[in-house]
Structure 1
Amino acid sequence: MKNFWRFIFRKKLPTTALCQMEFAVLGLGDSSYTKFNFVAKKLHRRLLQLGGSALLPVCLGDDQHELGPDAAVDPWLRDLWDRVLGLLPPPPDLAEIPPGVPLPSKFTLLFLQEAPSTGSEGQRVAHPGSQEPPSESKPFLAPMISNQRVTGPSHFQDVRLIEFDISGSGISFAAGDVVLIQPSNSAAHVQQFCQVLGLDPDQLFTLQPREPDVSCPTRLPQPCSMRHLVSHYLDIASVPRRSFFELLACLSLHELEREKLLEFSSAQGQEELFEYCNRPRRTILEVLCDFPHTAAAIPPDYLLDLIPAIRPRAFSIASSMLAHPSRLQILVAVVQFQTRLKEPRRGLCSSWLASLDPGQGPVRVPLWVRPGSLAFPETPYTPVIMVGPGTGVAPFRAAIQERVAQGQTRNFLFFGCRWRDQDFYWETEWQELETRDCLTLVPAFSREQEQKVYVQHRLRELGSLVWELLDRQGAYFYLAGNAKSMPADVSEALMSIFQENGGLCSPDAAAYLARLQRTQRFQTETWA
């Protein structure tokens, strides 16, 4: 893909390079991010510049739409097939696959009658002293050293500071990097899933691809037990997509359940599917419990086609190796909320991490590290302005620890939380750094006065300082946190500062902000 991207953006390509090509671009994105479907838009424009002919306007699927990406994709695909089949009609002897007939499964599960005499089931992991760094295919099983709640007992959210020992792992990281953690399903959910599908958790099997060019998932051992497959691989706690209902309907032998599943998988049934599944955040396991006859008849071969793999979760690293050698810390907000369903909704990874107690015995968590989106200046006297409300402050703690250890003391942190005594993370550490003139801390406690005060308000209050640091001292500006409204509010505050304190008109202020972004002096790390 990288080679293709580099090729089509070569400046020397003539504008007629693709004059005989017809194309269609489908993008999948999330409109809560500022660069919504940026790649799809850019690709569509470039193909047109090179003389290509678009069969259809670019399709921009949006995960934020109440019906999900399908709201845009459904009508677009219908139009696309009309255009393609008009241009390239199929041969008369080529029959269409009838509705309700599933494609062959990608894998077959060959059940073993007895346990193999050699080898043992286990996850492929990177061992201490290994030559290659840990990765998704070979994570490092890091011992958990501590798991401490850092919010007050009356605070609405459970936030954890978790520390891992990475001695001998070969892992190294810098401020701004992220750690990826591979979570597991709870034992209770694994047991319930096996009961609903009539599976023996201890049954061993080997996985065989049906096609020669398909490889088995590297995360699954061979042989593998059903318990291991469900615990560590199948994402039974995720909200199912429409394709799940389409395949489940094909596999159903129960007339009434099949009829309902077909309705959910149809274009006309998307609003009802949204009300049943997406709005209350009903999980795959709960859906299978609602369709017990269908669940009990699912062929095991289709499990990996039906249920997606558990994806690793990324967390900003909240510590520096210069301050904590052989240690890695993260700040985790435990996701839990209520919908109209009786059982609270829980984030798979955050809830799993919160449940682990190293005080009760050894705990190991599969993880690996990758570069993040934030890069901090190496020059010793360059000021750094960091805006990190809530758990968004995590990467900035790593940056401040690293910079202080290197003698870089021009650190300005705008931190936002609700209450000083409930969710003021690392208060003592910040105060100690302030006394050493290594940090200027500007807190915003949103609930401690009648009028809510957020980080963007504190930025405006100190507009002259912000402008002085950015315009005259070449400061870098960083922003991390929830992508919902805070990034736009902070950008608006900066625009106001550029106009009021910098004397710029609105277009010039916008150009100034764009220049900071273009030169990497304004960097963001946000999540939905």
Structure 2
Amino acid sequence: MAQGSLLDTNSPLSAEQAKRLNEALEGLDAHQLTWLSGYLAGLTAQRGDVAVSPTQPEATVAAAEIVVLYGSQTGNAEGVAELACDRIKARGFHARLLDMAEAGKKTFKDPLNLMVVVSTQGDGDPPDTAESFHELMHGRKAPKLNDQTRFAVLGLGDSSYDHFCQTGKDFDARFEALGAQRIHDRVDCDVDYEEDAERWIESVLDRYSEFCDTVSPVSDSLAPVANATPQTSYSKKHPFHAEVLDSIVLNGRGSDKETRHIELSLEDSGLSFEPGDAIGVVPQNDPAYVDELLDILRLDADADLGEGRRLRDALLTEFEVTTLTRPFLEHWTEVSDAAELRRLMDQDSRGELRDWVEGRHIIDVLEHFPVKEIDAHTFTQALRKLPPRLYSIASSYQATPDEVHLTVGVVRYESHGRSRGGVATTYLADRVHPGDTVPIYVDRNKNFKLPHDDNTPVVMVGPGTGVAPFRAFLQEREERGATGRNWLFFGDRRFRSDFLYQAEMLQWRKQGLLTHLDVAFSRDQQEKVYVQERMREHATELYAWLQEGAHFYVCGDGERMAADVHRALLDVIRTQGRFDEEGAKEYLRELQQAKRYQRDVY
């Protein structure tokens, strides 16, 4: 080449990068080099980077890069991270989106400007895809940082859990301990996170603007032509009102459970979805419960909350009025000035408070720690917004494009002398009937997807309502004519009354779509049997499937079942692969990083 070889001294490349590029360019003719230059220019535009004009002084285009590092379980944190990247580019910075599943010690070889967005799974755990990164950063092999690496953390969580946004707190403290410079206070977001997340993004970018260079924002001409045909977009703020086509109890006579198969019409909605996605249902609170709240508080149902809003209507549709959260308890401690509640809220009484809260709702706090006089504004200001409930989609869009099916386990129980029910499940079971409409939207889940290759075998573990997405998986594979083998582990209480979608499953097994169907009905014998026992019974073949590239999926209860299945899978890998404990864990981590081990747990 006339210009001579690239070196790390005459280019922005490392020595290794320059060597590889020289080898790649060796032997290319003029036509090929011209094509390659156009391809690279297009790739640069697609990534949103700003091209450097040969006549432009380098100093004027040395825009800082901001890395948005995210850890996401269901896709919410990833969505916030993607929004942050858009805002970064609009401000004239370079942006790089980085999944914690792909981050390692080498990531921190050079100083970084970081925006960290991470969710907390359940009561304090990191997302599955962020587990390895969390272990790295909190272990002896963690990278040593300095104040040239700057960071800010946004945590997503649920304040009804004791360890609210714990993973965000972990990373925030750890980055500082490793020597990085915090440029903005951590923000912890509850289930209604969108507005807080947007404020955090803009505020953090204001801080980066104080000491980082920018360039002119990317021209609109570089943006993909994706909005040429406007499409109707539905979201939790603007849901689609779907007609209920059918609501069928799946359990047979004698069952002590109530599981409903609900079919909703998507006709004229423009909505589409993929197996693994969820439907967000925007529910309403139980009117009888709301009336009881008003009676205890001695508040007028028509009390004005401003902007034409009436108290009873707001309690029905706007506010979470059942689930206890720490912010509400802190607010009620001040309002009631109850000595016992103040004692329970003390740090030294956290365990006692956890026991007291178990099985109780907001109405129990109002009864135990009454307030003689309170106005509507004082009561509602501590209530969080009523969050949508997510249900794994139980049908394939390819099979029924004008419908979406849900599998809903109706929650009803007694505790502390009061009958209770799930907000959304009783709304769907008791107060919505065929012909009525339900406000819904599609909630994408990029981390729970069928393999792209239809030849890939899949193993699915879905006891109870956890079978929902696997019904969608099987419908989808049937529609696509996928040749990959399918293995389902299903469990519930009793064979006769609780074998959900039994006829469909047996038909799929008969026609060969289901290679294996292994079931566990815990109450049909004296000793309880669960899906994890069935996994261990078939350990040899299960491990063989994993060795052949199978993807492994788990859906259902996150508190006990998912942990038990995880332990059983480790045992299968350890015994069949002849690994020690650490070797089995590393095998499983590699499955997670390759997205061959995916979980949708709740």
Give me the TM-score of the superposition, normalised by structure 2. Answer: 0.63
Deviation string for 1:414-445 (max 9, x for gaps)?
A: 11122111110011011111221111222222
Residue equivalent to 1:300: 376
Which of 471, 486, 491 is the equivalent residue of 1:397? 471
Deviation string for 1:125-147 (max 9, x for gaps)?
A: xxxx9933210110111111222
Residue equivalent to 1:126: none
Distance 1:251 1:501, change over 3 A: closer
- 2:534 is equivalent to residue 458 of structure 1: yes
**Aligned partners of 1:251, 1:455: CA distance in 2, in Å?**
48
SS at match of 1:338: strand
Which of 310, 316, 321 is the equivalent residue of 1:236? 321
Alignment map for 1:481-500 (pairs within 5 Å): 481-500=556-575
Which of 264, 284, 304 is the equivalent residue of 1:184? 284
Residue equivalent to 2:449: 375
Whether the 8 Å contact between 2:491 and 2:522 is mirrored in structure 1 is yes
Which of 572, 584, 591 is the equivalent residue of 1:509? 584
Residue equivalent to 1:248: 332
- 2:501 is equivalent to residue 426 of structure 1: yes
Residue equivalent to 2:482: 408
**Aligned partners of 1:495, 1:445: CA distance in 2, in Å?**
23
Deviation string for 1:77-115 (max 9, x for gaps)?
A: xx9xxxxxxxxxxxxxxxxxxxxxxxxxxxxxxxxxxxx
Which of 215, 235, 239 is the equivalent residue of 1:139? 239
* Cα displacement (A) at 1:196: 3.2
Distance 1:511 1:275, change over 3 A: closer
SS at match of 1:464: helix
**Aligned partners of 1:292, 1:506: CA distance in 2, in Å?**
53
Alignment map for 1:105-504 (pairs within 5 Å): 131-206=231-306, 222-241=307-326, 243-252=327-336, 258-267=338-347, 270=350, 273-276=353-356, 278-279=357-358, 281-294=359-372, 296-297=373-374, 299-339=375-415, 341-359=416-434, 362-372=435-445, 373-409=447-483, 410-440=485-515, 441-472=517-548, 474-504=549-579
**Aligned partners of 2:558, 2:323: CA distance in 1, in Å?**
21
**Aligned partners of 1:173, 1:63: CA distance in 2, in Å?**
26
Whether the 8 Å contact between 1:32 and 1:483 is mirrored in structure 2 is no
**Aligned partners of 2:339, 2:291: CA distance in 1, in Å?**
28
Q: Point out the structure with the larger helix share.
A: 2
Residue equivalent to 1:69: 163
Distance 1:368 1:514, change over 3 A: same
**Aligned partners of 1:138, 1:146: CA distance in 2, in Å?**
24
**Aligned partners of 1:14, 1:379: CA distance in 2, in Å?**
35
| One-letter code aligned to 2:451 | P
Residue equivalent to 1:123: none
Distance 1:457 1:166, change over 3 A: same
**Aligned partners of 2:592, 2:288: CA distance in 1, in Å?**
47
Residue equivalent to 1:85: none
Whether the 8 Å contact between 1:392 and 1:480 is mirrored in structure 2 is yes
* Cα displacement (A) at 1:31: 4.8
| One-letter code aligned to 1:418 | R
SS at match of 2:449: coil
**Aligned partners of 1:303, 1:2: CA distance in 2, in Å?**
41
* Cα displacement (A) at 1:245: 3.7
Deviation string for 1:13-48 (max 9, x for gaps)?
A: 666779xxxxxx999664575759968777778997
Whether the 8 Å contact between 2:297 and 2:371 is mirrored in structure 1 is no
Whether the 8 Å contact between 1:130 and 1:170 is mirrored in structure 2 is no
Deviation string for 1:472-501 (max 9, x for gaps)?
A: 3x2211111212333333333333433444
SS at match of 2:572: helix
Deviation string for 1:249-305 (max 9, x for gaps)?
A: 4345xxxx64444444444555554454x13x32212322344434x32x3333442
Distance 1:288 1:518, change over 3 A: same
Deviation string for 1:352-400 (max 9, x for gaps)?
A: 22113425xx321111112123111132221111111111111100000
Whether the 8 Å contact between 1:62 and 1:68 is mirrored in structure 2 is no
Alignment map for 1:508-527 (pairs within 5 Å): 508-527=583-602
| One-letter code aligned to 1:186 | D
* Cα displacement (A) at 1:164: 0.8
Whether the 8 Å contact between 1:26 and 1:61 is mirrored in structure 2 is yes
Distance 1:204 1:63, change over 3 A: closer
**Aligned partners of 2:348, 2:156: CA distance in 1, in Å?**
18
Provide the identity percentage.
30
Distance 1:2 1:365, change over 3 A: farther
Alignment map for 1:13-28 (pairs within 5 Å): none
**Aligned partners of 1:457, 1:270: CA distance in 2, in Å?**
36
Distance 1:471 1:130, change over 3 A: same
Whether the 8 Å contact between 1:159 and 1:332 is mirrored in structure 2 is yes
Whether the 8 Å contact between 2:461 and 2:554 is mirrored in structure 1 is yes
Distance 1:462 1:7, change over 3 A: closer
Higher normalized contact order (CA 8 Å, seq sep 6+, divided by chain length): 1
**Aligned partners of 1:302, 1:184: CA distance in 2, in Å?**
22
Whether the 8 Å contact between 1:29 and 1:62 is mirrored in structure 2 is yes
Distance 1:154 1:460, change over 3 A: same
* Cα displacement (A) at 1:516: 1.6
| One-letter code aligned to 2:144 | Q
**Aligned partners of 1:188, 1:424: CA distance in 2, in Å?**
33
**Aligned partners of 1:495, 1:291: CA distance in 2, in Å?**
47
| One-letter code aligned to 2:478 | V
| One-letter code aligned to 1:498 | I
**Aligned partners of 2:142, 2:381: CA distance in 1, in Å?**
33
Residue equivalent to 1:214: none
| One-letter code aligned to 2:399 | A
Deviation string for 1:319-368 (max 9, x for gaps)?
A: 112222211111111122333x1113322111222113425xx3211111
**Aligned partners of 2:329, 2:562: CA distance in 1, in Å?**
36
